[in-house]
């Protein structure tokens, strides 16, 4: 299954999601690696097998093995970090924000692809997971790495549309 096949599964009441997936698949603000890595990391963050399988199928010829692995790593590490940092940020006591996380995050320092791409994918996953602290941190890194506000917004739009597709398919399966 591909993005087009995924779009075909989305019912008419969610036509906007279908249209947005199509528009974002042909988006040119990001490099192909950045765009398809954002799709893949976002799909993995949703945990929806239909969305994950569709995006894996779509990206198998668009991403190198290294980029595929890095997008998977971004989804994995942010599944942990988004919970930890969101919790420490939401707690009334700032004592926890001052404490070291004591969680291994080696992949962030050596993701196997350009750092800015990995950080962009981490930002997209953080948008899905709702961690403002992580969003701010990754946005700063990608902007310092030369990405524009439009490029950051595009990654967030990809995360939003992929997440919405997963939500619609979960609702349809219920």
Which are the catalytic amino acids? 131, 134
H-helix segments, 47-64: 49-59
Spatial separation of the C-alpha atoms in residues 123 and 78, rounded to whole Å: 9
Task: Write b or e for each residue in 102-113: b if 16 or more Cβ atoms lie within 10 A of its Cβ, otherwise e.
Answer: eeeeebbeebeb
How crowded is residue 39: how many other Cβ atoms within 10 Å of its Cβ?
A: 31
Cα 38–chain centre separation: 5
Q: In the structure encoding, which two tokens stand for residue 96, read together?
A: 């926890």
Residue reference for tokens 């701010």: 136
């Amino acid at each position: 299954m591909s993005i087009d096949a995924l779009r075909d599964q989305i019912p008419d009441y969610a036509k906007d999601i279908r249209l947005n997936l199509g528009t974002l698949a042909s988006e040119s603000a990001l490099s192909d690696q950045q765009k398809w890595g954002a799709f893949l990391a976002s799909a993995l963050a949703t945990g929806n097998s239909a969305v994950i399988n569709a995006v894996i199928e779509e990206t198998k010829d668009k991403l190198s093995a290294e980029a595929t692995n890095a997008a998977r790593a971004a989804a994995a590490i942010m599944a942990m970090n988004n919970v930890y940092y969101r919790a420490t940020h939401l707690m009334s006591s700032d004592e926890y924000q001052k404490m070291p996380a004591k969680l291994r995050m080696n992949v962030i320092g050596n993701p196997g692809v350009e750092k800015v791409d990995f950080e962009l994918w981490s930002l997209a996953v953080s948008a899905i997971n709702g961690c403002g602290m992580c969003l701010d941190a990754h946005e700063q890194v990608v902007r310092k790495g030369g990405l524009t506000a439009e490029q950051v917004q595009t990654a967030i739009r990809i995360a939003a549309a992929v997440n919405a597709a997963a939500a619609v398919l979960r609702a349809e399966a219920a």
